[in-house]
A and B are shown apart, each in its own frame.
Chain A
């Protein structure tokens, strides 16, 4: 797992202004983790923010989305915690 500069953890739906704010500050070397409502972004279109994208599998399953997901690698709760250990900085949006 490559080291991550800043891990952005986003749980807001795509329409939420904080989702837009998050997307606008992503830089190379960062990573984006989508949880709760934010996983809906993967239903809108396969987002390509130019950084690795992860998504929390139980949240995708809850919303009937976990089949046919592109543009994000799925993690479970343990995987989420592991991700945070690889990041120097965290932003919980």
Chain B
């Protein structure tokens, strides 16, 4: 049983993405196979040097860096969305593989979207 958690919600603007990340981490903590896919405006989660102090929120960048510790299998970013938002390997956080959503979706037994 493999789960793909898709986050297409923009960072910091809504809580839906954070809730999905918590769900993914919980699944991983219970040794479920969980993979994260960021797509749409969700790819903006992955941009480096986020400074959310001015909006009084904790950094999602740091939050995400815990993914390997929880045992999340992999973190993917949708290629088309990355191109749209000007994201490349240089300005994205480490450990993210750029892939195509349409190729990934059929590979998982259970897929859920944030929000």
A positions within 8 Å CB-CB of B: 11, 13-15, 36-37, 40, 43-44, 57-59, 61-66
B positions within 8 Å CB-CB of A: 10-14, 40-41, 44, 47-55, 57, 61, 84-86, 91
Report B-chain residues with C-beta under 8 Å of the C-beta of A65: 47
Report A-chain residues with C-beta under 8 Å of the C-beta of B85: 40, 43-44
In the complex where A59-B12, A62-B54 touch, is A44 in contact with B84 (Cβ < 8 A)?
Answer: yes
The 7 closest A-B pairs by CB, nearest first: A58-B54, A37-B13, A62-B52, A13-B41, A64-B47, A37-B10, A61-B51
A82 to B57, CA, bound (A): 25
Q: List 9 A-B contacts (CB under 8 A).
A: A40-B44, A59-B55, A62-B11, A62-B12, A62-B54, A62-B55, A64-B47, A64-B48, A66-B51
Instruction: Contact check, A64 vs B50: say whether CB atoms are below 8 A apart.
Output: yes
Instruction: Contact check, A58 vs B10: say whether CB atoms are below 8 A apart.
Output: no
Query: Smallest CB-CB separation from A37: which chain B residue?
Result: B13
Instruction: Contact check, B41 vs A40: say whether CB atoms are below 8 A apart.
Output: yes
Instruction: Report the minimal beta-carbon distance from A36 to chain B, rounded to whole angstroms.
Output: 5
A21 to B24, CA, bound (A): 34
Instruction: Report the minimal beta-carbon distance from B115 to chain A, rounded to whole angstroms.
Output: 12
In the complex where A37-B13, A43-B85 touch, is A62 in contact with B41 (Cβ < 8 A)?
Answer: no
> With contacts A13-B41, A40-B44, A62-B53 known, what are 12 further pairs, Cβ within 8 A?
A11-B13, A13-B13, A44-B86, A59-B12, A61-B50, A62-B11, A62-B52, A63-B44, A63-B47, A64-B47, A64-B50, A65-B47
Instruction: Contact check, B13 vs A58: say whether CB atoms are below 8 A apart.
Output: no
A33 to B54, CA, bound (A): 17
Query: Smallest CB-CB separation from B45: which chain A residue?
Result: A63
A15 to B48, CA, bound (A): 22
| Contact residue among B40, B49, B84 (Cβ-Cβ distance under 8 Å from A64) | B49
